[in-house]
Amino acid sequence: MRHKDDMAAILGVAQVPMRTRIPEMTYPDLLATVAARAVEDAGLARDEIDGLILAQAPTATLGVDEPQYWGIAGLPGAHAFLGRVHVAAASGLSAVRLAASYVASGRAKHVLVVAADLADEGDSLRGALAQMHDPFTSGQAPINAITAAALQSTHYMATHGVSERIFAAPIVKNRLNGVGNPYAQLRKPVTAEEVLDSPVLSWPIKRLESSPRTSGAAAVVIGKANSKRSVRIEGFGNFAGAKSIGAQMVPGWTSYLDGSDVTQAAQRAYSAAGISNPQQELDFAEVYTSFSIFELLSIEGLGLCAKGEAARRIDAGEFHRGSRLPVNATGGATCGNPISAGALVRIADATAQLRGEAGDCQVEIRHGRAVVTAIGGLFQTHEVGVLAI
């Protein structure tokens, strides 16, 4: 584990309220807005930024390839552009991991990471995301992000002997949490019945179990700690899984379906951060929940409860905002999911929590430690980060 003084830290964060459409702002406008606010939040001047990373997942939603040429003009640190990171929906956290490496290596002092998404530029978000699939092989089967998550959901039900009703639990919790989050896109609570009665997207996944189509932006400044508000990055864990179920040709390999890839990434992060008992050493978790099943697999994969137990324990009141170890206390991706910026939103929310600046969404901070996750592709690339204040 790195010494505290040698760790990279989150110095500043910013995000904009998430909405379906943000017609009054272009992509560069969004980036510039959050960039300026994050630099200000870090207590830095523009010219102190000596590195800029753009996190941008699929560009099909923007309709602009290689958006860095367009988007970074005029941003702090644009003259010292370090590249675009694209790891699908994990882009933001992967970019923060890279920024931390730059700072830890001494090649940069203050790296700004920015991301934005305009999800309503095209007719179909699902169509734009079809680029995840091989047109020659996957195109012959009805595979998309929703059907893939549905496959995970049915596997979970069969493995643990539960019904589809369990998938409502994380959604009810997160939607209630989103009510108090001024940045959330969805700020009305829902009941379990409303979730279960919503239209079926791909059985057993219902529409309200899926994150909405979201436009938004976020930015993070990484450097060595410069104030009491700095949040240290104690460790990162990344694990790239396989796109195809059974790709490793190992009998019984079910990591795609049972979330054990999350555990691999978590173990790397916990090892780097010196965490041996996450249930006792963490204050909260911000996990990526574009579908309800992702939250269940993430909670279990992070070692916050036993496999198959997450939904039952959410129903029993655990992992809620007032509980001992809240998960997605601001609503998470359930209440808004700008794909490229989503992981940076997780970072921004976690930072606010650790600083005690989360307003109506504030959780109790006892240990000063939290975990954030991001998932890229078809539940295949997993980023886990441990933050501390």
Place of tokens 């699902």: 126
What is the rounded CA–CA span in Å between residue 176 and residue 378?
A: 27
Least distance from C-beta 126 to other proteins, angstroms?
14
CA angle 316, 318, 320 (to 5 degrees): 115
Q: Which is nearer to other proteins, 74 or 359 (CB)?
A: 74
Which residues ranging from 19 to 78 are in contact with other proteins (CB under 8 A)? Answer: 26-28, 54, 58-59, 63-66, 68-70, 72-74, 78
Q: Report how far apart, in Å, the C-alpha atoms of 297 and of each of 162, 170, 300, 342 are.
A: 14, 11, 5, 18
Q: Residues 154 to 183: which contact other proteins by CB under 8 A?
A: none
Minimum CB separation of residue 272 from other proteins in Å reads 9
Q: Which helix (H) or strand (E) holds 154?
A: helix 145-160
Q: CA–CA separation, 143 vs 136, rounded Å?
A: 12
Task: Calculate ∠ Cα 347-95-15, nearest 5°.
Answer: 40
81, 147, 308, 355: residue in contact with other proteins (rule CB under 8 A): 81
Smallest separation, CB 109 to other proteins (Å): 13
Interface residue with other proteins among 92, 278, 376, 385 (CB under 8 A) is 376
Please report which helix (H) or strand (E) contains residue 68, including its range.
Answer: helix 68-71
Instruction: Rank residues 106 and 251 by Cβ distance to other proteins and give the closer one.
Output: 106
The order of strands in the sheet holding 381-388 is 81-85, 51-55, 111-117, 216-224, 8-15, 231-240, 381-388, 369-376, 284-286
What minimum distance in Å lies between the beta carbon of 102 and other proteins? 5
Stretch that binds other proteins, among 133-141, 210-218, 322-330, 336-344 (CB under 8 A): 133-141
Q: How far is the CB of 297 from other proteins (least distance, A)?
A: 18
CA angle, corner 88, sides to 72 and 99, nearest 5?
55
| Contact map string, positions 204 to 243, toward other proteins, x by CB under 8 A | --------------------------------xxxxxxxx
Give the nearest distance from C-beta 69 to other proteins in angstroms. 4
Selected binder of other proteins within 107, 126, 207, 367 (CB under 8 A): 107
Taking CB under 8 A as the criterion, the residue among 38, 87, 220, 361 binding other proteins is 87
Please, which residue, 16 or 233, has the CB nearer to other proteins? 233
> Is the CB of 82 or the CB of 293 nearer to other proteins?
82
> Mind giving me the DSSP string for 253-298?
--HHHH-HHHHHHHHHHHHHHT-S-HHHH-SEEE---SBHHHHHHH
Nearest Cα to Cα of residue 376 among 340, 337, 322: 340
Q: Binding marks (x or -) toward other proteins, 258..287, rule CB under 8 A? A: ------x---x-------------------
Cα-based distances in Å from 24 to 21, 38, 134, 352 = 9, 21, 35, 27
- One-letter identity of residue 378: L
**Rounded CA separation 349/328 (Å):** 9
Smallest gap, in angstroms, from Cβ of residue 154 to other proteins?
22
**How many residues at the interface with other proteins, by CB under 8 A?**
62
Pairing of β 231-240 and β 216-224: unpaired
Write out the residues near other proteins by the rule CB under 8 A: 2, 26-28, 54, 58-59, 63-66, 68-70, 72-74, 78-88, 90, 94, 97-98, 100-102, 104-107, 131-135, 236-244, 247-248, 264, 268, 376-378, 380-381
